[in-house]
Amino acid sequence: MIAGSSTVFTLAERLAIEFVNEGYADQLLIDSIGSGAGFERFCVATETDISTASRLIHSDEIATCQGNGRDPIGFRIGSNVLAVVVSADNDFVEGVTLEELAEIFSTAETWQDVRPDWPAEPILRFAPGTDSGAFDYFVEAVFEQDPAPLLNAANLQLSEVPAVLREGIKLSPFSVGFFDYAYYAEQSENLRVLAINGTTPDATRIETNDYFLSRPLFLYTTATIMQEKPQVAAFLNYALSNATSANERVGYTAPTTARLNEGRRNWLVAMDLLQQDERLYLPKVRAESRLIVE
């Protein structure tokens, strides 16, 4: 049983489908209930084998888990990253603050309403449809889960198709939009990504969670569960081995090779498959990969 983050659900479901297609014959259940609720079922009820989360496990959740005989181990399998994008013909916006980002996608009618030295031209807005995870994440991060400011904004075009958003933004220097960063990286010609609070979504900042519209995606379990339930260990191994292709399919950003290799070694440690002398040379493990979050 797997339960937790609705964001990770999309990726976990893709991995589960492919895992079954590769020959797994037993039942594999995944519930989308949110990261916090997922940890409740994993740490308090102890009824799930894997808890999915779009954030680090909190120290109090670790304590609860350990109090119930579970030492959580986290495997990072991706990142959910949004890019805020303008046309390459836009020569006046390089970056925005969080407050300006909220204005741009809500009450500001012209660019000049945001900054006096920007053009007095209407803002043309492009965003994913309301059924999109990207829409939900943007609303959660920028508008504290209230979609009304964005949906009530003038000159707003919604589309579930990233290509439609990209093409619409390209057509005018006064357009702006957002969508999954993977779709920007896939085809960035004639587009330009904006910095938010001085930070752009490059690989390093995504990996270190320093970009505002980025959140890490984890699968949490325990070494005991992995050793007692080989199907859980097999799924986690499959997830680490196929994270790159699965992230591409769902529009998320894959972990770096170094992070995936770290996950594979931590998998071996959990399964007690590394000799003691090999463990001595393991790199220092990140907080989200093992047990303690400062």
The predicted-structure confidence for 190-237, as pLDDT tens digits, reads as follows: 999 999 999 999 888 888 888 999 999 999 999 999 999 999 999 999
Convert the pLDDT of each residue in 24-67 to its tens digit. 988 899 999 989 999 999 999 999 999 999 888 999 999 999 99
**Cα 3–chain centre separation:** 16
Residue 19 lies in a domain: yes
Question: Does the pLDDT at position 283 exceed 80?
Answer: no
Q: Which of 157, 190, 207 is the last residue of a domain?
A: 207
287 pLDDT tier (thresholds 50, 70, 90): very low
Find the mean pLDDT for residues 256-272.
94
Q: Do 149 and 200 fall within a single domain?
A: yes
Q: Do 120 and 186 fall within a single domain?
A: yes
Residue 294 lies in a domain: no
Residue 247 lies in a domain: yes
278 pLDDT tier (thresholds 50, 70, 90): low
- Write the CATH number for 242: 3.40.190.10
Convert the pLDDT of each residue in 152-178 to its tens digit. 999 999 998 889 999 999 999 999 999
Q: Do 185 and 84 fall within a single domain?
A: yes
Q: What is the pLDDT of residue 34?
A: 87
**What is the extent of the structural domain holding 132?**
80-207
The torsion of the CA quartet 103, 171, 199, 131, rounded to 10 degrees, works out to 70
Q: What is the pLDDT of residue 6?
A: 83
Q: Which of 157, 186, 207 is the last residue of a domain?
A: 207
Q: Do 16 and 71 fall within a single domain?
A: yes
Task: For 192-207, give one letter per residue: b (16+ CB within 10 A) or e.
Answer: bbbbbeeebbeeeebb
Residue 98 lies in a domain: yes
Q: Do 59 and 116 fall within a single domain?
A: no
Q: Show the 3-state SS of the chain.
A: CEEECHHHHHHHHHHHHHHHHCCCCCCCCEEECCHHHHHHHHHHCCCCCEEEECCCCCHHHHHHHHHCCCCEEEEEEEEEEEEEEEECCCCCCCEECHHHHHHHCCCCCEHHHCCCCCCCCECEEEEECCCCHHHHHHHHHHHCCCCHHHHCCCCEEEECCHHHHHHHHHCCCCEEEEEEHHHHHHCCCCEEECEECCECCCHHHHHCCCCCCEEEEEEEEEHHHHHHCHHHHHHHHHHHHHHHHHHHHHCCECCCHHHHHHHHHHHHHHCCCCCHHHHCCCCCCCHHHCCCCC
Q: Do 66 and 95 fall within a single domain?
A: no
Q: Do 146 and 42 fall within a single domain?
A: no
pTM (2 decimals)?
0.77
Q: Which of 160, 190, 207 is the last residue of a domain?
A: 207
Please tell me the distance from the alpha carbon of residue 266 to that of residue 14, in angstroms, as a whole number.
23
Contact call for residues 272 and 73 (beta carbons, < 8 A): no
The structural domain count of the chain equals 2
Q: Do 179 and 245 fall within a single domain?
A: no
Q: Do 166 and 258 fall within a single domain?
A: no
Q: Do 125 and 44 fall within a single domain?
A: no
Q: How many CB atoms lie within 10 A of CB 96?
A: 20
Q: What is the pLDDT of residue 290?
A: 33
Q: What is the pLDDT of residue 281?
A: 41
Place of tokens 């994270």: 243
Residue 27 lies in a domain: yes
Q: Do 57 and 87 fall within a single domain?
A: no
Residue 22 lies in a domain: yes
Question: Does the pLDDT at position 285 exceed 70?
Answer: no
Residue 183 lies in a domain: yes
Residue 37 lies in a domain: yes
Convert the pLDDT of each residue in 82-133 to its tens digit. 999 999 999 999 999 999 999 999 999 999 999 999 999 999 999 999 988 8
Nearest partner of 232 among 63, 59, 75, judged by Cα: 75
Q: What is the pLDDT of residue 284?
A: 36
Q: What is the pLDDT of residue 282?
A: 41
Q: Do 158 and 185 fall within a single domain?
A: yes
Q: Which amino acid is at 221?
A: T
Question: Does the pLDDT at position 275 exceed 70?
Answer: no
Convert the pLDDT of each residue in 66-76 to its tens digit. 999 999 999 99
Nearest partner of 289 among 79, 73, 49, judged by Cα: 73
Please tell me the distance from the alpha carbon of residue 242 to that of residue 250, in angstroms, as a whole number.
13
Nearest partner of 77 among 51, 58, 45, judged by Cα: 51
